[in-house]
């Protein structure tokens, strides 16, 4: 199965990106082959709704899980509709999070934020 | 004549000055375009004569007609649509109501649906017609409400447009049809910075403008006044940081209606602007 992580760079030592929707890249890790692949996040520079488009990309790449620090309500709705689980990333490298995931040591992300820029009912 | 009153930040006295200018005119229209937090009505206490609901267009999908081509998703710059497991998801609060997806859909699977986002109320307060826009809580953009307000403004009267704070889209929409812009500024460094922002904006729109320096303290330097001097900007009035004005305003009263001293001050100010 595939796990996707929003990341800062396109190498194996990359940090997890604090933003989900506007992360520059996604790391796609295949748990069967232990291979990782990197793709551009097409939503990184969106005028709006970055989380929705990023989540659409996750679904289109047929991932079964996402590991991220945080996730907005709209993105969470898309991922949920796609049957994708969201796990809370731990501070540090993407590869360390993958190791923790395979050892079942990551928690499901439950605190979904209402969105920035006043979208989704959130206020500054 | 349409006079827009704006400022780079909130709390400078836009509503205070707008309300008093409107009350100085023989007959006037006061339009509250600060639709996220309209407060002019607290001073005018108008008798409401008309209430309009403002709605925007959002797409609605007919799943049976959709062939999953994704044209709508690829088109939308705000990513208001997603296609998940063969189903189109529409995020109505993200939609900017451009209608492009509806036009583009080769299957006519998307149609126009309406979503209410706020109201425009019209009322009477003595010599002033009060038009007040109000955006529903949680909504993203008040532009449609301001556009609706503009359609309700008659051409032949003195119109005072109380703008939202800042220099963003809603302010541009509020000043677009104005003949003159009054920039209200506080006597602080922050105030002068915000004045510079709105001054840049009215220059882009080619609007004649003048500054009212509000809350002026005697004998203390005023960075906003310095900005005006340095940039050759007309100062049309200075309002002191006055206890009586503060008391009247905090009681929800309009100074011009309470005291002849203030009436003659704002009469002169309005004269200055309309000339």
Domain count, chain B: 2
Tell me: do B156 and B242 sit in the same domain: yes
Please give the residue range of the domain that contains residue B90: 63-108
Tell me: do B152 and B18 sit in the same domain: yes
Instruction: Answer whether A114 touches B (CB < 8 Å).
Output: no
* Strand B28-32 with B158-162, pairing: parallel
| Complex confidence, ipTM | 0.85
Q: Do A46 and B79 touch (CB under 8 A)?
A: yes
Mean pLDDT for B17-35 is: 96
**Residue B82 is nearest to which of A47, A55, A123, comparing CB atoms?**
A55
Cβ–Cβ under 8 Å, residues B25 and B127? yes
**Residue B84 is nearest to which of A59, A117, A121, comparing CB atoms?**
A59
Tell me: do B165 and B74 sit in the same domain: no
We report the CATH number of the domain holding residue B267 as 3.40.50.300
Q: Which residues pair with B31 in a beta bridge?
A: B131, B161
Tell me: do B224 and B139 sit in the same domain: yes
Tell me: do B173 and B74 sit in the same domain: no
Domain residues of chain A, as ranges? 2-121
Q: Which residues pair with A66 in a beta bridge?
A: A4, A86
Share of chain A above pLDDT 70, in %: 92
Asked whether residue A76 carries a pLDDT value surpassing 50, the answer given is yes
**Residue B79 is nearest to which of A52, A77, A83, comparing CB atoms?**
A52
Q: What is the pLDDT of residues B224-254, one digit of tens each?
A: 999 999 999 999 999 999 999 999 999 999 9
Mean pLDDT for B165-184 is: 95
Tell me: do B125 and B24 sit in the same domain: yes
Spelled out in words, what is the top-level CATH class assigned to the domain A2-121?
A: alpha beta
Name the percent of chain B in helix, strand, coil, to the closest 5: 35, 30, 35
Count CA atoms within 13 Å of residue A85 on its CB side: 12
**pLDDT value at residue A116:** 57
Tell me: do B77 and B182 sit in the same domain: no
Cβ–Cβ under 8 Å, residues B166 and B175? no
**Residue B85 is nearest to which of A81, A117, A123, comparing CB atoms?**
A81
Cβ–Cβ under 8 Å, residues A118 and A124? yes
Asked whether residue A120 carries a pLDDT value surpassing 50, the answer given is no
In order of A72, A75, A114, the CA distances from A22 in angstroms are: 11, 12, 16
Instruction: Answer whether B110 touches A (CB < 8 Å).
Output: no
φ, ψ for residue A24 (rounded to 5)? Answer: -70, -35
**Tokens 């541009």 map to which residue?**
B172
Minimal Cα–Cα distance from B210 to chain A, Å? 32
Query: What residues of chain A lie within 8 A of the CB of B61, using their CB?
Result: none
Q: Indicate whether this model's pTM tops 0.90.
A: no
Q: Do A49 and B73 touch (CB under 8 A)?
A: no
Mean pLDDT for B13-36 is: 96
We report the CATH number of the domain holding residue B90 as 3.30.70.20
Tell me: do B167 and B239 sit in the same domain: yes
**pLDDT value at residue A121:** 40
Asked whether residue A115 carries a pLDDT value surpassing 70, the answer given is no
Minimal Cα–Cα distance from A16 to chain B, Å? 24
Query: What residues of chain A lie within 8 A of the CB of B10, using their CB?
Result: none
Asked whether residue A123 carries a pLDDT value surpassing 70, the answer given is no
A93 pLDDT band, cuts 50/70/90, is: very high
């Amino acid at each position: 199965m595939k796990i996707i992580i929003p990341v800062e760079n396109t190498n194996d030592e990359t940090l997890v990106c604090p933003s989900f929707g506007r992360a520059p890249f996604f790391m796609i890790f295949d748990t069967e082959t232990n291979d990782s692949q990197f793709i551009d996040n097409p939503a990184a520079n969106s005028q709006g709704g970055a989380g929705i488009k990023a989540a659409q990309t996750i679904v289109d790449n047929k991932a079964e899980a996402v590991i991220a620090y945080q996730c907005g309500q709209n993105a969470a709705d898309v991922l949920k509709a796609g049957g994708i689980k969201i796990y809370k990333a731990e501070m540090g490298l993407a590869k360390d999070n993958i190791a923790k995931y395979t050892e079942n040591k990551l928690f499901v992300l439950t605190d979904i934020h209402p969105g920035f820029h006043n979208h989704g009912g959130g206020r500054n | 004549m349409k006079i827009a009153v704006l400022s780079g930040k909130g709390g400078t006295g836009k509503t205070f000055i707008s309300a008093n200018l409107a009350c100085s005119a023989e007959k006037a229209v006061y339009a509250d375009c600060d639709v996220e937090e309209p407060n002019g009505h607290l001073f005018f206490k108008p008798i409401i004569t008309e209430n309009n609901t403002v709605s925007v267009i959002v797409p609605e999908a007919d799943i049976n007609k959709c062939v999953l081509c994704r044209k709508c998703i690829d088109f939308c710059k705000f990513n208001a649509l997603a296609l998940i497991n063969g189903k189109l998801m529409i995020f109505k609060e993200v939609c900017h109501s451009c209608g492009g997806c509806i036009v583009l859909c080769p299957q006519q699977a998307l149609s126009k649906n309406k979503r209410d986002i706020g109201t425009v109320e019209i009322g009477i307060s003595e010599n002033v017609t009060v038009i007040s826009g109000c955006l529903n809580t949680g909504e993203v953009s008040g532009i449609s409400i301001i556009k609706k307000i503009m359609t309700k403004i008659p051409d032949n009267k003195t119109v005072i447009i109380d703008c939202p704070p800042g220099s963003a889209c809603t302010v541009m929409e509020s000043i677009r049809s104005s003949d003159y812009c009054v920039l209200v500024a506080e006597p602080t460094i922050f105030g002068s910075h915000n004045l510079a922002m709105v001054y840049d904006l009215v220059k882009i729109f080619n609007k004649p403008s003048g500054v009212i320096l509000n809350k002026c303290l005697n004998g203390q330097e005023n960075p906003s006044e310095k900005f005006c001097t340095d940039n050759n900007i007309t100062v049309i009035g200075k309002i002191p940081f006055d206890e009586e004005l503060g008391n009247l305003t905090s009681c929800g009263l309009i100074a011009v209606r309470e005291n002849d001293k203030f009436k003659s001050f704002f009469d002169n100010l309005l004269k200055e602007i309309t000339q």
